[in-house]
Amino acid sequence: MAEQRRKSVLITGCSEGGTGNALAKEYCGHGFHVFATARRIEAMQNLALLNGITLIQLDVTSIPSVSSVLQTVSEILERENMSLNILVNNAGVSSVIPTVDMPLQASHNIIQTNLLGPMNMVHYFMPLLLRAASSPDGNVCIVNTGSVAGLLPLVGASYNASKAALKMWSDSLRLELEPLNIRVLHLAMGFIDTSMWGRARESLPAGSRYASIENLLVDHRLSFRQNSMSTSQFAQRVVSVSSKTNPPTTLYIGKGAFRYWVISWLLPQWLRDYEISRSLGLWGLGAALRKA
């Protein structure tokens, strides 16, 4: 009988205060060896003392960085007789600045990180995942961190677009990889209390046409954080679901996730647009600008 290898998981975007960091601790507690990655090693120092976690510097938008991490992880798996069973595409960036005020490079960075980043990771790490999937106890899963902003235009246009595209990519990938014994779990995330919301006070540039509603925009974002799910609750649920042999295709998780899903199905587009425009102050802004 083939010798059983120790299971491992690779997680992107593990800076302290975020969901990736909480997932690293939780998978570690469940006996996985964890490859915790982030752009800055020092942002993951709280994980350094835990046994069974390897910290690696990784920028998911850089092919040389992804390919160098593949090399490092492959060597460790070989040396320690481990397999890569779970890849969590968690790294992400967000911005709520309206499109006309946002530098083009910032929009591109959102797509590069949130959509092309997972594509880079899956492309490069596929040989390791396929190898784990071909073993008799192979239980292999790719986890993509989507958002309810992929269902309804809640955050910022580029962010919403990146998460909507990620959802379709997850669904297509799931069908393609099913015959190869690799599962794909898409997380339709509502609001989780992470450091991302600490940056919710992004300022509009001077002269912005949206200046008169800036406070409303900030309040709207900050309201997402109130009573949001803790990172540890989030991590417990995701680790439990992603370790199943037959997980759901999409996990709705976090504050408001299920409610926004229902709204996206039930309300007609005009009513959804009205509600979102009203809460962001866009409706009133249009009327004020027409009068001016």
The nearest distance, CB 71 to ligand NAP, in angstroms, is: 17
Active-site residue, from 7, 25, 27, 163: 163
The nearest distance, CB 6 to ligand NAP, in angstroms, is: 25
Taking CB under 6 A as the binding criterion, the range among 47-55, 57-65, 119-127, 261-269 that sits at the site for ligand NAP is 57-65
Contact map string, positions 89 to 128, toward ligand NAP, x by CB under 6 A: -xxxxx------------------xx--------------
Cα–Cα nearest to 241, from 138, 124, 137, 88: 88
258: exposed, middle or buried (Cβ count in 10 Å: 0-12, 13-18, 19+): middle
Nearer to ligand NAP, 133 or 154 (CB): 154
Instruction: Give the C-alpha separation, 284 to 24, whole Å.
Output: 44
Adjacent-strand bridge partners of 184: 142
- Asked if residue 201 binds ligand NAP (CB under 6 A), the reply is no
Dihedral Cα 149, 153, 158, 162, nearest 10 deg? 40
Instruction: Give the C-alpha separation, 83 to 4, whole Å.
Output: 9
The nearest distance, CB 104 to ligand NAP, in angstroms, is: 17
- Asked if residue 58 binds ligand NAP (CB under 6 A), the reply is yes
In the residue annotation, 163 being an active-site residue is answered as yes
Taking CB under 6 A as the binding criterion, the range among 46-54, 85-93, 167-175, 201-209 that sits at the site for ligand NAP is 85-93
Range 219-278, binding ligand NAP (CB under 6 A): 254
Whether 30 contacts 37, CB under 8 Å = no
- Asked if residue 140 binds ligand NAP (CB under 6 A), the reply is no
Contact map string, positions 162 to 191, toward ligand NAP, x by CB under 6 A: ---------------------------x-x
Active-site residue, from 27, 159, 210, 252: 159
Q: Please state, in angstroms and as integers, the Cα–Cα distance from residue 117 to each residue in 59, 110, 254, following that order.
A: 8, 10, 23
Contact pick of 5, 10, 18, 281 for ligand NAP (by CB under 6 A): 18
- Asked if residue 43 binds ligand NAP (CB under 6 A), the reply is yes
Q: How far apart are the first and last CA of the chain?
A: 79
- Residues labelled as active-site residues: 159, 163
Q: Which residues bind ligand NAP (CB under 6 A)?
A: 12-15, 17-20, 38-40, 43, 58-61, 90-94, 113-114, 145, 147, 189, 191-192, 194-196, 254
